[in-house]
Amino acid sequence: MSNRKTPIVVWSTASAGLFFARAFLFSTWVSRGPEVQALLNLSTAEMGVFTMLYAVGGLAGIFFASMLVKSYGSRMIAFLGFAIAVAAMMGIGFSIELGFLLVSSLLLMSMGMPMAIEDFVGNYEGNAADRKSKRSIFPAIHGAYGLGMLGGAAFSSFAIGAGIALPLHYFVAAILVGAVSVTASILLPDRRDEIDSGASPKKGQAKLVWREKRSLLIAVVGFSFIMAEMSAGTWVPIALTQAGYSGSDAALLFGIFWIVITVGRLLGGFVVDSIGRSNTILISALIGSSGVGIFIAQDLINQPLLGLVLWGLGISMGFPMSIAAMGDDERMAPARINMIITVVYISSITVGPALGSVGQVYGLFVAFVIPLLFLLVAAILSPITKPETSKTEVNG
């Protein structure tokens, strides 16, 4: 199925399906974080190191993402990647239940590795579909990730409330993820001819994106939003349970957080078309930082829901627009998108341990100051994401 024959709606829906499946898997995993921590008998700092393994696996995979897609196409890589991740998820539930830390660690890395590759595939295909569309649809494609996080959180809240064992919960979730990902993979267009043609940069040119000032600064912006997102995904449920909320209530609040993100992304295209990409990122960063600040002030104002709503709304558009900024030049889009995702995975290795270490000493609510500061950095750098109008260094 060539992209020339694939309607935009099918192409974008397939890309969105990959986002949904990846998010459902991740949300299911993190929503039972407090139970995972208890079953493996980990301290807050140790849990931070353990959660880092997902990103370590992702880092091992993302370096090969562009090459794999070029060699085998998005459809094949999407199918095989999710097959590995689904198998790992089925196994990790049982290993955690049995308290096997080493096996759980290996399976967690085995989940993270293909999911990083699927991160590239979804963004690469979604960005390409967005360029072909007359309207901004990339935020809505990313909105499917929010739907997946929401679905995973809702399913987890139900599973926890119903007393469903962790292994069975993960097993059923893996089957659902497999069904969605297979369907999405089949619907993707075959674009290997484009990647092999002059529409993609040469190998030497692709390496030069790591020396482009604009690309590096956009990567910082993208990472700032991803850090805020990952910090919430990993630590918000645990922080809420430490503050006295039940596991099911923490999962519910985490679900509301993703409702807001999803709505923000589904409607975000209208915002981008109205005020532009860089202004969207600026406003998003300021709203997000205010939300994190309110959440941090739990002991003073006790408004975690308000904080999470603003936090979610603020980060909803930041990373999708960072990816879009990397895709302005169609020829350089594969290399630049792979570059920003690689930076995110390299940097994300520090998120779990950094917040876990600070949380161990000062408490998790204080640790959230780290993503707050990064969001303020993103606000300052937002002008760099304006549409590219001149030739890049690699072109010049």
Of the candidates 72, 160, 193, the residue with the CA atom closest to the CA atom of residue 121: 72
Inside any domain, residue 269 = yes
Q: Is residue 197 part of a domain?
A: yes
The pLDDT assigned to 70 comes to: 80
CATH number at residue 201: 1.20.1250.20
pLDDT of residue 150: 80
Tell me if 3 is assigned to some domain.
no
Q: What is the pLDDT of residue 60?
A: 86
Which residues form the domain of 92?
A: 8-385
Q: Is residue 1 part of a domain?
A: no
Q: How much is the pLDDT for 59?
A: 86
- Residue-wise pLDDT tens digits, 228-248: 988 887 788 888 888 878 877
Q: What is the pLDDT of residues 255-293, one digit of tens each?
A: 788 889 889 998 888 898 889 899 999 999 999 999 999
Q: Specify the pLDDT at position 219.
A: 92
Q: Look up tokens 């975000």; give the residue.
A: 268
pLDDT of residue 205: 60
According to the model, what pLDDT value does residue 166 have? Answer: 93
Q: How far apart, in whole angstroms, are the C-alpha atoms of residue 153 and residue 138?
A: 23
List Cβ<8 Å contacts ≥24 apart for 269-276.
269/135, 269/136, 269/137, 269/138, 269/139, 269/140, 271/139, 271/317, 272/136, 272/139, 272/317, 272/321, 273/135, 273/136, 276/386
Question: How many domains are contained in the chain?
Answer: 1
Residue 40 belongs to a domain: yes
pTM over 0.85: no
Q: What is the pLDDT of residue 395?
A: 37
Is 25 inside a domain boundary? Answer: yes
- Please write the tens of the pLDDT for every residue from 16-60: 999 999 999 998 988 888 889 999 998 877 887 888 888 889 888
**Intervals of the chain under pLDDT 70:** 1-5, 191-206, 389-396
Closest C-alpha among 339, 318, 338, 288 to residue 385? 318
Predicted pLDDT of residue 330: 78
For residue 17, being part of any structural domain is answered with yes
- Is 200 domain-assigned? yes
Secondary structure of 177-239 in the HEC alphabet? HHHHHHHHHHHCCECHHHHHCCCCCCHHHHHHHHHCHHHHHHHHHHHHHHHHHHHHHHHHHHH
pLDDT at residue number 298:
80
Give the pLDDT of residue 72: 87
